[in-house]
Chain A
């Protein structure tokens, strides 16, 4: 009994806050998503969802956001693992390299945006450099290439953080196992795919989830680089939400949020499942 009271005491403030600022309003959001309007609360089933799904801005935003994640997340996983492995090799100044790789995560997006503008402008540094190789100038931020630019900025910012996660996980692999493999003459590739990757699978999952979440945050870079009305290829979910908040259209807002939450939950469940299957024999 005393335990229960104590635990309520410690958990209370947070649970109250979360309930007040996240859960209760989210329930209202769910409610809004199935009614005609707050003034005319008639149950309309899935009408609002269908309307949002048919909305062309929503489609563009969903397509771009998904496209971005599909390109950026695997790259974020593979490259940060590569960096972690690189720092496992015998190279000098490891801790200095770690600091350098990690530093972009601490630099506010707003601060480096000026440099990105200079680099990716039509008459910017990148095109000047490419011209030396005879490549025609590309309008990086106003052409289909824009997604690649944003992927690069995303990787620049997030690789260091993921790398630390992988470095920690690599450190936790039982050394004896790798030694046995060495004695038995296993090749480096064999050791990597059959031992290391198995033990890394929870971290791969974690980095993937983290990167998916972070890929929703890439709006910051886009907004600061190109403002409220970017090239269509950079129109992200957050842009759509901003427009909806602008009006504000509660039905659209609510059904978009519910849809997104459902997609996220499904995605996370899927990744958990995948990790269960892939890493089950090393779970301990």
Chain B
């Protein structure tokens, strides 16, 4: 019996480890490969990226690809090129930042006000409104991009960042999450503050926001990652290549720069990984509080 239990535990641990390996590998490989020299990258992956490669015949290209974890020679040259020599990529990175940062900040600001409104006052109209937000939240981009496109067209915002920032600012996702967590605040806290003569605004800033700190953080992370990853909106609303974020630009990188691509890809995920390592517990808590769509 005891032996059996040990066996089961070992098997479960091995299964978990296999999953963990599968989940980690692609990320880890991207990072380690960013320290390879261009010639090593070409030799290993030349087959995959060769269609645009101009230097054929000069470099050695393996018959089949050779996915390697540890570089033969560790080099920072790819990073030096991307960060110092060719500011092109940094510019795209900056494009991502100035698109995503306003969206995260503005969406959180608007959503926390709205969530407070939905928490403090409930009535038929408001609960219908909340339900409507949920439905809107569940609509795929293929639906919402059409109205977004029309408004941007009317307001002359097409091909400017605002065509993405404005709809992002009012996206209902964080309203939903923040309302869920604000409704967890004991109403006695709010009642007590009201009795002490606090205004609604003071209750909002002094009680609700501090109480929801971890929720705000986790929503910020979720919104950030969603927009940091965006592809659909820029290719439709922001066609100007010079303004496009790195997420779209990375896919257009050509074969001669595959070595660089790994370094850029790594740089691109650094903010996400840092946020994740710092905020994982908040994030988990925030996701867990979503519970269900109802109620």
Contact = CB atoms under 8 A, between A and B. Distances in A.
Given A6-B200, A91-B12, A107-B27, A202 B294 contact: yes
Given A216-B140, A217-B141, A156 B12 contact: no
Contacts of A118: 45, 48, 65, 67
Contacts of B247: 108-110
Contacts of B143: 257, 260-261, 264
Contacts of A169: 291
A54 B243 CA distance: 37
B117 interface: yes
A90 to B, nearest CB: 6
A91 B16 contact: yes
Interface stretch (B71-79, B183-191, B263-271): B263-271
Interface residues of B, number: 94
Contacts of B139: 261, 264
A213 B140 contact: yes
Interface string B118-152: 10110000100100010110111111111111110
B147 A21 contact: yes
The secondary structure that dominates the B interface is helix
B209 interface: no
- Main SS of chain A's interface residues? helix
A109 B85 CA distance: 26
Nearest to B123: A7
* Residue of A13, A29, A116 ringed by the most chain B CB atoms within 10 A: A13
Interface string B58-97: 0000011101000000000000000000000000000000
A21 B166 contact: yes
A123 B63 contact: yes
Interface in A236-284: 237-238, 241-242, 245, 248, 253-254, 256-257, 260-261, 264-265, 268, 272
Contact of A102 (B135, B228, B280): B280
A135 interface: no
A238 to B, nearest CB: 6
Contact of A91 (B13, B133, B149, B294): B13
Interface of B: 9, 12-13, 15-16, 19-20, 22-27, 29-30, 33, 45, 47-49, 63-65, 67, 110-111, 113-114, 116-118, 120-121, 126, 129, 133, 135-136, 138-151, 166-167, 169-170, 172, 175, 200, 204, 225, 228-229, 231-232, 235-236, 246-248, 250-251, 258, 261-262, 265-266, 268-269, 272-273, 275-276, 280, 283-284, 287-294
Given A21-B166, A123-B63, 11 more contacts: A3-B121, A21-B167, A22-B170, A29-B146, A86-B16, A91-B12, A104-B23, A108-B247, A125-B67, A168-B288, A205-B292
